[in-house]
Amino acid sequence: MPPRSTPTARQQRLGHELRKLREQSGMSAQQAAALLGVDRTRIPNIESGRFGISAERVRTLAFNYGCPDTELVDLLAAMAQERTGGWWEEHRGLLLPALLDIAELEHHAVELTTSTTTHIPGLLQTEEHARAVFDTADPQLPGPDLAARLSLRLRRQEVLERDLPPMYESVIHEAALRMQFGGPKVARAQLDHIVEHSERDRITVRVIPFAAGGFPGAGQSFTYVGAAVPQLDTVQLDSSHGSMLLDSEMQLRRHRGLLERLRTLALPVGESRDFIRSIAHDL
């Protein structure tokens, strides 16, 4: 398999998980290379995502590393078999790779949970709202860049339209609901859109009102991406500097705890829906 110049986050994650299994076993990269009959430099390249690996070799390594988790091994082998990217590859070269990594994460997710303070989650944005958000970028986005970003955002939303979509939960602060990107008409349509989606199966929306006061993590927005096994969960952080992906057990545990705290501060589902309606009514 030829080397990859820019491995995707998912390809890097496969390599990262193989490295963790190897290090837990106490085996060196040279010993692992001997198991596969390859040059010792191949293992670091596989573990960085620069080189692919077959599903059979993933199973060979996992067996010799003494990994007892057959479900995890099956998923890693399935990841290794992925030879072509999804629809997001159409945007490669037009948008930053980190934006495409988000689409790929969402595509493979079993559960998605978002926490936002000052903006509406991308999967719940209307086209008009999203366009208004992109229009506020500083520096201003050139027309083709704005169109590409808008296209990606709207296409990402199709993950919620699948026959069996991931479970989706969004915890939204009142501040985000009161931001009027595009003016009152666009804002009202956006709120109605959220209410409509909140009434669908497998979608849950909760609101943290101003009255809840301060809370941990108020300065950041993030998505907890749940995989088929918890070892492959990922946290995607949003910031003005771009996206960051976290997957260490400490970070995953921290954000799971943070979400539980946010849920205790948020209004119940029914009250959240009525709260959103009341904001829309006042516009």
pLDDT in tens, 231-265: 999 999 987 677 899 999 999 999 999 999 999 99
Structural domain spans, the chain: 9-81, 87-282
pLDDT in tens, 191-220: 999 999 999 999 999 999 999 999 888 888
CB atoms within 10 A of CB 280: 19
Residue holding tokens 């290379």? Answer: 33
Residue range 87-282, CATH number: 3.30.870
pLDDT in tens, 42-55: 999 999 999 999 99
**Distance from C-alpha of 148 to C-alpha of 146, rounded to nearest angstrom:** 5
pLDDT score recorded for residue 83: 76
Residue 135 pLDDT > 60, yes or no?
Answer: yes
Residue 1 pLDDT > 70, yes or no?
Answer: no
pLDDT score recorded for residue 243: 87
This prediction's pTM: 0.94
Q: Tell me which residue of 3, 208, 171, 6 sits closest to 96, measured CA to CA.
A: 6
Tell me the average pLDDT of the chain.
95
| φ/ψ (deg, to 5) at 38 | -125, 170
Which residues sit opposite 242 in a β-bridge?
239
Residue range 9-81, CATH number: 1.10.260.40
Alpha-helical runs (H) found in 157-242: 174-178, 184-198
